[in-house]
Amino acid sequence: MPSVKTAISLEKNLFNQVNQLANDLHVSRSKLFTLAVKDYLKKQENKMLLAQLNAAYCDSPKEEEKTVSKAMHRKHRKIVGREIW
């Protein structure tokens, strides 16, 4: 994939920390920023997915669903009760 150059401004202390970490990991600053941004984007994607899952599963069953579920449980107990274990 083609690369694009960009310029960013950092506080001096943060810049020093980035340089140190890049040196410790034996990668360039560009590579470190790329890794960090990819990680951040993945975390954001996961947060959005979790929010969607929570929204999909947060509702309680309606009364009709509860009634059907109870009937299914009774039927299941009746069938399983006849089984020889």
Give yes or no for residue 52 having a pLDDT over 90. Answer: yes
Cα separation of 2 and 38, whole Å? Answer: 16
Q: Is the pLDDT of residue 82 over 80?
A: no
Q: Which residue has the tokens 């920390």?
A: 17
pLDDT at residue number 85: 67
The predicted structure's pLDDT at residue 59: 82
- Model pTM? 0.64
Rounded Cα gap, residues 31 and 24, in angstroms? 13
Contact 35, 26 (CB under 8 A): no
Domain extent listing, the chain: 12-81
| Distance in angstroms (rounded) separating the CA atoms of residues 45 and 75 | 42
Q: How confident is the model at residue 62 (pLDDT cuts 50, 70, 90)?
A: confident
- The string of pLDDT tens digits covering residues 6-39 is 999 999 999 999 999 999 999 999 999 999 999 9
